[in-house]
A and B are shown apart, each in its own frame.
Chain A
């Protein structure tokens, strides 16, 4: 029994040490962001400066239009999600419950999209966006994600789990297809919708390369592109505190949401793996 107890303590200790190491980047960016800019870290003094200050946040807030970037990120993320919810519901229902010629071929095409992430095709997609005259618009950010193989397959799986008797009962009550989806399938699939929303929102909130390529002006660029600019306009070295303050401004929303909705986040991410 004592051996068991020792082992338990040991495992707990190992867990804490590893957790502390993984937490280090966050801890140090908070500490650095609160140090006076004139006091970079040095040997014997790596945690706190002579005083705590919010100057770095104040300065970081001045150098870029963060409010605008926040708004752009919100437009990008929710503009993507809202259209996705409609398209994946429609296609998910068709693949779950209807038979039609060519269905398997179309499913194969969806699998192809899963295997070739849209981001890899940036060379041609960039050309497409320019041809369509959408360069540097919110549309260019969102459109490639409006057809989501991942979402469609997820809803297909979810809808298939809805008892078919419910559909038959609703039909015999005279429900049309729209009422059927609206009042039978959607309410019974809310957990799947929430999972999809969390995964979609967090992946697009964090996305960098595509927004960076297809936008130029600050009126359209999301937070990640703003952060990139801050990084390259900051005098690296002297202004690390300011850079890290800016980084924290960008990453704060998701991290805070995660603190409050830990379970939902973890379950959503986990369910995105069950294929």
Chain B
């Protein structure tokens, strides 16, 4: 039966509202970011921008340039921050899920205690941690002094500040990731463990050779969202240290946010956004190819 004109157009009408907004707030800005990153603003605001091809990118990686000197440091911080978050929050999340997956008295309370950080706005969580980290009257230093130790300048010491921010991120991210592991654990059929126990497999064997491999997809997903979120970290910095001291506690998206106001930075903020988007895409696609391929092997 040939389709009527309405039937032909109908699917497009259904997807139109979604794609209007996807086009306006994803496709257009992505394209525009790339093209704008190839221009420098003219000295006078009234003049048209100058096409400079990749010069903005070259400047960003030039340590003698006023932004480049900061950018490389901040990019490095972003990698270190993300790596540290993944390395600590993913195993912690797995551990939490293992612990919470048992029927204990008070499970509801324990789940609340471990999951609530995931529900807090980061800006609120960071306000609480600001109280922990405060140099003079903060909780951490008060406790340290109680043991007769000297306090640490958590947010003012260039060698400490990134650790302080990572710590908060681990606390929050491990809570969030725990949920996915918990769901993953609950999807594993119980009888395979019973069978393994009959064969005399101990708990470590079961964990190492059954649970961990069975949750591989979950792990990949959890790593992916942790990396994606960590690359976009802004709130903690806004509340805790504004990227200080001397950019040792600064991260990429927050730096873009800080640089957006000055007209002379327009090409650079776009170039930095392109770098950020490319990093996210590269990471996501690698991850995607990695587990798509492995799944084919299994089939």
Which residues of A come within 8 Å of B, CB atoms? 11-12, 14-16, 18-20, 22-23, 25-26, 28-29, 32, 40-44, 46, 86-88, 90-91, 93-95, 98-100, 103, 106, 109-110, 112-113, 115-128, 143-149, 152, 177, 202, 205-209, 213, 223-224, 227-228, 231, 236-237, 240, 243-244, 246-247, 250-251, 254-255, 258-259, 262, 265-267, 269-271, 273-275
Contacts and interface: CB of A to CB of B under 8 A. Distances in A.
Interface in B206-243: 218, 221-222, 225, 228, 232, 234-235, 238-239
Contact of A128 (B29, B234, B235, B277): B29
Contact of A126 (B112, B182, B260): B260
5 pairs of A and B residues whose beta carbons are closest in the complex:
A147-B21, A124-B29, A270-B183, A206-B121, A100-B11
Contacts of A271: 183
B121 A205 contact: yes
Contact of A116 (B21, B180, B281): B281
Contact of B260 (A29, A91, A123): A123
Given A25-B129, A147-B17, A206-B121, A117 B228 contact: yes
Contact of B124 (A103, A109, A144, A250): A250
Interface in B47-97: 95-96
B284 A124 contact: no
Contact of A23 (B23, B113, B232, B260): B113
Given A18-B96, A208-B235, A147 B111 contact: no
Contact of B130 (A15, A116, A118, A236): A236
B121 A208 contact: yes
B232 A119 contact: yes
Interface centre among A14, A148, A208 (most CB of B within 10 A): A208
Interface of B: 8, 10-12, 14-15, 17-30, 32-33, 36, 95-96, 99-100, 102, 104, 108-125, 127-132, 134, 136-137, 139, 142-143, 145-146, 171, 175-176, 179-180, 182-183, 218, 221-222, 225, 228, 232, 234-235, 238-239, 253, 256-257, 260, 269-270, 273, 276-277, 280-281, 284-285
A43 B142 contact: yes
Contacts of A86: 17
B119 A258 contact: yes
Given A12-B104, A20-B113, A227-B124, 10 more contacts: A44-B146, A46-B143, A91-B19, A110-B22, A116-B281, A124-B36, A124-B273, A147-B17, A227-B127, A251-B121
A251 B128 CA distance: 11
Contacts of A207: 121
A237 B131 CA distance: 8
Nearest to A226: B123
7 contacts: A25-B132, A46-B146, A90-B15, A147-B26, A227-B127, A244-B127, A265-B115
A255 B124 CA distance: 12
Contact of B139 (A28, A122, A144, A237): A28
A246 B239 CA distance: 14
| SS class, residues of chain A in contact with chain B | helix
B15 A94 contact: yes
A206 B28 contact: no
A113 B26 contact: yes
| SS class, residues of chain B in contact with chain A | helix
Given A98-B11, A113-B26, A228 B273 contact: no
B59 to A, nearest CB: 17
A265 B280 contact: no
A68 to B, nearest CB: 17
Contact of A247 (B118, B128, B235, B276): B128
Contact of B137 (A41, A44, A262): A41
A253 to B, nearest CB: 10
A266 B234 CA distance: 25
B51 to A, nearest CB: 18
Contact of A265 (B25, B30, B119): B119
Given A28-B139, A251-B120, A262-B108, A143 B25 contact: yes
Contact of A227 (B14, B108, B121, B280): B121
Contacts of A43: 142, 145-146
B10 A177 contact: yes
B131 A240 contact: yes
A228 B18 contact: no
B125 to A, nearest CB: 7
B33 A123 contact: yes
Contacts of B127: 227, 231, 243-244, 246-247
